């Protein structure tokens, strides 16, 4: 029997709002469950066990059918997000989608390596900085990087403050071969049951300007600094 995937939500097409694929049309497949609990998580509805009953166990064929319905059966980039999607058995879904011309990018903190990472088109490794309250297991992180041999791998780091920034610089020095995307963190994430919660856009813009100043001032020219475009456009709204 095929392993079922715990699905929190499937939505789109919309555009990817952050990182290396910013602006690209995509369908999001958000899985339920995470081995982390970051202080500022903006996806608690896909993390908090209180919402477990909203996560539907779905066969890969059913997930693929929903993605195809949303995209009008036209191949598109599929973004696998969470929670931590690496927890889920996504290999068969990726194989089924590739057979129909779909592409797959997966976003993970890099705590759990899976052999099917090598089948991805892009692996976005997003290790969590000190402000998250999490501690990165670098051996696990490197296992993820190594498992994604066939994929294009990139780093994405959320920055809230100076300590996060200095940490990001150390990570970049440690993994010079991984293109790095920085983004200001959202200090007004939505509670899991309120995606209408107001975003402090002025505060986000100020953090973005500070981050640009830090990167440029340090002559850190290999970094790319981007806002969370979807937050700017739609605030904390879900499904966009």
Asked if 84 is part of the footprint of ligand SF4 (rule: CB under 6 A), the reply reads yes
Q: Find, among 16, 110, 1, 125, the residue nearest to 57 by Cα.
A: 1
Question: What single-letter DSSP state applies at residue 46?
Answer: G
Q: Which residues inside 41-60 make contact with ligand SF4, applying CB under 6 A?
A: 41, 43, 47
CA distance 28 to 132: 24
Q: Which stretch binds ligand SF4 (CB under 6 A): 32-40, 52-60, 72-80, 142-150?
A: 32-40
Q: Which stretch binds ligand SF4 (CB under 6 A): 2-10, 51-59, 76-84, 219-227?
A: 76-84
Asked if 231 is part of the footprint of ligand SF4 (rule: CB under 6 A), the reply reads no
What Cα–Cα distance (Å) separates residue 35 from each residue in 44, 47, 69, 87, 96? 12, 8, 31, 8, 27
Helix 60-71 × helix 91-99 angle, to 10°: 40
Asked if 37 is part of the footprint of ligand SF4 (rule: CB under 6 A), the reply reads yes
Q: Which residues contact 100 (CB under 8 A, 6 or more apart)?
A: 64, 68, 75
Q: Which stretch binds ligand SF4 (CB under 6 A): 30-38, 55-63, 114-122, 162-170?
A: 30-38
46/180 with CB nearer ligand SF4: 46
Q: Are 208 and 225 in contact (CB under 8 A)?
A: yes
User: Using CB under 6 A, which of 10, 20, 38, 76 touches ligand SF4?
Assistant: 38
Q: Which residues bind ligand SF4 (CB under 6 A)?
A: 34, 36-38, 41, 43, 47, 82-84, 109, 128
């Amino acid at each position: 029997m095929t392993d079922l995937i715990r699905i929190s939500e499937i939505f789109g097409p919309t555009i990817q709002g952050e990182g290396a694929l910013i602006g690209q049309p995509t369908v999001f497949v958000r899985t339920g469950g995470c081995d982390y609990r970051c202080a500022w998580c903006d996806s608690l509805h896909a993390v908090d066990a209180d919402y477990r009953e909203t996560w539907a166990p779905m066969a890969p064929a059913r997930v693929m059918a929903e993605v195809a319905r949303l995209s009008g059966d036209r191949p598109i980039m599929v973004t696998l997000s969470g929670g931590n999607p690496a927890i889920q058995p996504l290999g068969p879904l990726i194989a089924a989608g590739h057979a129909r011309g779909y592409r797959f990018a997966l976003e993970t903190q890099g705590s759990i390596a899976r052999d099917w990472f090598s089948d991805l088109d892009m692996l976005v490794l997003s290790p969590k900085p000190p402000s998250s309250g999490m501690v990165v297991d670098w051996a696990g992180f490197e296992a993820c990087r190594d498992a994604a041999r066939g994929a294009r791998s990139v780093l994405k780091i959320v920055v809230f403050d100076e300590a996060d920034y200095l940490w990001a610089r150390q990570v970049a020095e440690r993994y010079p071969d991984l293109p790095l995307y920085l983004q200001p963190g959202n200090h007004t994430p939505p509670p899991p049951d309120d995606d209408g919660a107001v975003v402090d856009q002025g505060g986000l813009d100020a953090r973005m300007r500070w981050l640009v100043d830090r990167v440029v001032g340090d002559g850190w020219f290999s970094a790319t600094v981007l806002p969370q475009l979807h937050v700017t456009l739609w605030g904390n709204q879900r499904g966009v």
